[in-house]
Structure 1
Amino acid sequence: MRVVTISATYGTAGSQIGPAVAERLGVPFVDRAIPSAVAQELGCTLEEALAHDDRAEHGLGRLLSGAMRLPTVTFGGVDMYVPGAMPHAPEEFVRAAERMLKDMADEQGGVFLGRAGAAVLADRPGALHVRLDAPVKRRIRQTATLSGIGEREARKIIEDNDRARVAYVRHFYRIDPADPCQYHLVVDSTTIPVPTCVELIVTAAEALD
């Protein structure tokens, strides 16, 4: 079964490229299914699972990005590492997401967007790891154009997302998500058209068979 992980900075059309690659490869596109599966496994609400998810609008990464400067990382005003302070520790959500990712890769394959997939599935034979990235200026222009917002607002969204996602990956995996050595393919999807990006990724995934 084919497995592709995609690490996409904000403004690089990951949510367009991922599903298109999955359709071409005949495997599921796995994004929103992860927090739902985590909620079911841990017996919590979907909202609680999303609060700890790096892909969610208000996920753990957002909170980590602001808290990483502090001596202790806080979550919702409570020290994340105080036993019993929360029904589930953030680490529990992240490890559950890892299990879901690995189980889905084993059972059905798929195209996995975000959640440090390249790190979680680094040792999986035949998995293709892709990074979508581009200079901030081009990501700002693309975000402003696609979302119909001003460039100042687009810049703030991108900077907030970049800080959050980098904090999430560094905190839980001690790696830099921008390090190209983690990926087989790094593509600038603000310059290369989306259909061509899809074709590149599909071709590379098929070459690993």
Structure 2
Amino acid sequence: MPVVTIAGRIGSPSRQVGLEVARLLGADYIDHQILAQAARHSGTPVEEMVQKDERATRGRERIAKFFQTFLEKSAAAGTAGDPFLGPVAVEALMSRSLTEAALPAHNRVEQLNDERYLQVISRVIQDEARDNNAVLIGRGSNLILKDLPMALHVYVVSSEATRMGEVMRRERLDAEAAKKFIKEREESRVGWYKKFFKVAPEDPTLYHIFLNIDRLGRDHAARIIAEAAREMQRTSSSAAAGA
């Protein structure tokens, strides 16, 4: 089962490329918004969940079930009284922005919050990668799955002008505000990786492939990623068969 992680700077088209890769591979698509929505809808009937894209919806449904099971097991283990293991707390943890999550912990409670936050993200990503074809966007997925042989780790790059244009369109900002937005969010992104994984997110040794989307285009980049993922799966399967 192909597993792909995609990361990139703020404003890069990692999500758009990721959705196309998911379509080509017939894989589930998971990003931060889906994780947050799944936590928010823990225990909600599937038919009541917001529909977006079929691949994104499948992932959201499955992760919502994971959160529900997580809460049920916590209750069975006698930890339901812990305020950070309830539905509201799980939603709050998973809904934190990069800026919020990257802030340093100032006391033991905040340290526990950070530990649980990383634990839940890691469990969700590991379970999704183990059981399904999956395309995972950001949130340290390449580091969480660094020891998974069949996982392909990709970093997409694009020019400042491209990223500015994307942020201006998506956030409805003028050029000056978009530049400030990118600077602040990028600082938070770098801080998040340093805080939780002690790495720089653009370290080339953390990825199999760097792709310049300005030069390749989104669709071409997605095809390259999909074929590389298939080849990695074939290689991993052959190695396992020969072991």
Structure 1-normalised TM-score?
0.80
State the identity %: 24
Going from structure 1 to structure 2, the CA distance change for 1:51 and 1:33 (only over 3 Å counts) comes to closer
Is the partner of 1:111 in helix, strand or coil? strand
Q: Shift in Å at residue 96 of structure 1?
A: 1.1
Alignment CA distance shift 1:155-1:39 (3 Å): farther
2:99 to 62, 69, 77: 62
**Alignment match of 1:196 (pick from 177, 202, 220):** 220
CA deviation profile, 1:157-205 (whole Å, cap 9, x unmatched)? 2112211111111111111111111111111223431111111111211
Mapped contact 2:93–2:113 kept (Cα < 8 A): no
Q: Which runs of 5+ in 1 are unaligned?
A: 53-58, 68-72
CA distance in 1, matches of 2:113, 2:186: 23
Structure 1 segments of 4+ aligned residues over 6 angstroms from their partners:
none
The answer for the alignment partner of 1:169 in structure 2 is 193
- 1:137 Cα deviation after fit: 4.1
Distance 1:164 1:191 in 2: 27
What is the alpha-carbon distance in structure 2 between the residues aligned to residue 87 and residue 94 of structure 1?
11
- Superposed displacement of residue 150, structure 1: 2.0
SS in 1 for 2:35: helix
Contact 1:12–1:190 (Cα < 8 Å) also in 2 = no
Partners in 1 of 2:94 and 2:123 — Cα distance? Answer: 16
Moved more, 147-156 or 107-116: 147-156
For residue 159 of structure 1, what is the amino acid of its counterpart?
A: K
- Which of structures 1 and 2 has the bigger CA Rg? 2
* Structure 2: gaps (5+ residues): 40-62, 71-84, 235-243
CA positional deviation for 1:103: 0.7
Using the TM superposition, name which of 186-195 and 38-47 deviates more: 38-47
The one-letter amino acid paired with 2:157 is D
1:43 to 86, 96, 108: 86
2:178 corresponds to which of 140, 151, 154: 154
Report the structure, 1 or 2, having the larger helix content.
2
Amino acid at match of 2:87: C
Alignment-derived partner of residue 13 in structure 1 = 13
Tell whether the 8 Å contact from 1:49 to 1:93 is kept in structure 2 after alignment.
yes
User: Any idea what SS the aligned residue of 2:216 has?
Assistant: coil
